[in-house]
Amino acid sequence: MSAFERFQNVFKIPELKKRIFFTLGIVIIYRIGGHVPAPGIDAQALGEYINSQSGTLFALYDMFAGGALGRATVFALGIMPYISASIILQLLGATMPYFQRLQKEGEEGRRKINRYTRYGTVAICIGQSWGMSVWLQSLVSNSGPVVPSPGLAFQLLTILTFTTGTIFVMWLGEQITEKGIGNGISLIIYVGIIAIFPTAVIGEIQQVASQNKTLIEFALTFILMYFVTMGAVLLTQGVRKIPVQYAKRVVGRKVYGGQSTHIPLRINTAGVIPIIFAQALLFIPQTAVSLFPNSNIFMTIQNWFSFQSPVYWFLYSILIVFFAFFYTAVVFNPVDLAENMKKYGGFIPGIRPGKKTSEYVERVLGRVTLPGAIGLALLSVLPYMLVRYFNLSMSMTDFFGGTGLLIIVGVALDTLQQMESHLMMRHYEGFTRAGKIRGRIGRG
């Protein structure tokens, strides 16, 4: 069966077809909202400033918002406040007993965590909206001030507009999860990143047309991008399986257990979180430099922390590796895993249950995480190397960077896995000959 015929199978299932068209409708609404201008902001002046900040956290934020920040729209904050609140709740779940209990309460616990996540999103939105209103009032581009009429009224209006916009985007994502093809929040981010790709490609073509880049460099960029994408797929899908055997138990007249399964340890358990944390830390020296523009010491620091500096590449890589191990240790607890296995009669062949099992899993997890963290660091630093040695445009870097590429690959694979599950349940052939697309375990 050809790939086109497999794709046609999707529309032979009424429920799946309905979910796909519903998702497309929500995406169209999201993209339209991403072009509705926010009041009181000169979009042209802000766009000029954002373009000058390519490769910074501003560019990263704008990428997650699908370019809405650079256009000063009502969706300027995008979905990032929700992502931040989710990460905070996830970290609290690994450190605070109350949230640990909620995680173990099943569906009721998840509902409470979701409610706290929404409250946290609103609080973060209010804080970020106020900070952004103050920041926008201080910006001046070649076209003039970004905010022509600054003041308290503008700040309150910005807080109301941006907070409402983010809550609406969060609601759109939840609708995709409930009534669409699933992974709503991830798809919102995915659509925002993909929307930047045509502009980045046009920029590369314009460089060739203006003879700033040769055709050979242009071709090599996309060939290398193909292989890097393959590496991102391997990094996303890579799993180390630890075999687990469950002993037979007789309860009354029923026999439980006696089956073999495995513990899937991802080589990149932390997802894109290490990249975001590392970029946030390395942004601090750049911010300090902007406060002291006439200091020779800070100008030297600025050269060290420029995106084309080997010093920046080294520190960036070290921080990514560190946060990969740190976040993995926070979200994955081998002790709880060993206790649950022992509780239900599970054991790893050749390893004694209990403490020995947790030590073994922790040791294997460390060995698996190291190559994953190094691969994540290489994937993140590579775009900056291409800027320096292959004349890659910074707009392409925002799309080609580790964060954007990993999100695109991960969400695309998750979406295919969701659609394939519908096909397989109705005895249609999936998108692959084997009929199996491994979905990600957890969310990064």
pLDDT tens readout for residues 242-255? 998 887 666 666 66
CA atoms within 13 A on the CB side of 439: 13
Res 56: pLDDT: 54
So what's the pLDDT on residue 78?
A: 82
Looking only at the bridges linking them, the beta strands covering 254-256 and 249-251 are antiparallel
Closest CA to 76 of 120, 39, 123, 116: 39
What pLDDT was estimated at residue 135? 78
Q: If the chain, 444 residues long, is cut into consecutive pieces of 10 residues, what is the mean pLDDT of each piece?
A: 65 82 92 86 73 58 66 82 85 81 82 90 90 81 78 91 92 90 84 79 80 78 82 87 79 66 87 81 68 66 74 89 89 86 84 89 92 89 76 65 77 80 66 52 40
Contact indicator for 245, 260 with CB cutoff of 8 Å: yes
**Distance, CA of 265 to CA of 74 (rounded, Å):** 40
Rounded Cα distance, 199 and 394, in Å: 11
Which pLDDT does position 26 carry in this prediction? Answer: 93
Beta-ladder partners of 250? 255
Question: What pLDDT is stored for residue 108 in this prediction?
Answer: 85
Distance in angstroms (rounded) separating the CA atoms of residues 3 and 349: 41
Yes or no: say if 179 and 19 are a contact pair by the CB < 8 Å rule. Answer: yes
Fold of the domain spanning 237-394: Preprotein translocase SecY subunit (1.10.3370)
- What residues have CB less than 8 Å from 56, skipping those under 6 apart? 283, 286
pLDDT of residue 419: 78
Determine what percent of the chain falls in helix, strand and coil, rounding each to the nearest 5: 70, 5, 25
For residue 111, give every residue at least 6 positions away whose Cβ sits within 8 Å of its Cβ, in sequence order, or none. Answer: none
The values of phi and psi at residue 183, to 5°, are: 55, 45
Q: Is 283 left (phi over 0), alpha (psi -120 to 50) or beta?
A: alpha
Residue 292 backbone dihedrals phi, psi, to 5 degrees: -130, 70
Distance of CA 81 to CAs 71, 166, 265, Å?
18, 8, 29
Q: What is the pLDDT of residue 374?
A: 92
The distance in angstroms from the start CA to the end CA of the chain is 34
* Tokens 């520190």, residue located: 315
Superfamily name with CATH number, domain 1-195: SecY subunit domain (1.10.3370.10)
Q: Cα angle at 259 between 253 and 260, to 5 degrees?
A: 170
User: How would you class 359 by CB atoms within 10 Å of its CB: exposed for 0-12, middle for 13-18, buried for 19 or more?
Assistant: middle
Q: What residues have CB less than 8 Å from 185, skipping those under 6 apart?
A: 79, 82, 83, 170, 173, 174, 177
Cross-strand pairs, 254: 251
- For residues 274 and 191, give the distance between their C-alpha atoms in angstroms, rounded to a whole number: 22
Taking a C-beta distance cutoff of 8 angstroms, is the pair 361, 346 a contact?
no
Residue with tokens 């995406």, as numbered in its chain: 27
Res 195: pLDDT: 79
Q: Where in the chain is the domain with CATH 1.10.3370.10?
A: 1-195, 237-394
Angle (CA) 441-57-413 rounded to 5° is 25
Helices (H), 240-333: 273-291, 296-304, 310-331
Position 286 scores a pLDDT of 65
Q: How far apart are alpha carbons 415 and 434 in whole angstroms? A: 17
Neighbours of 439 (CB within 10 A): 16
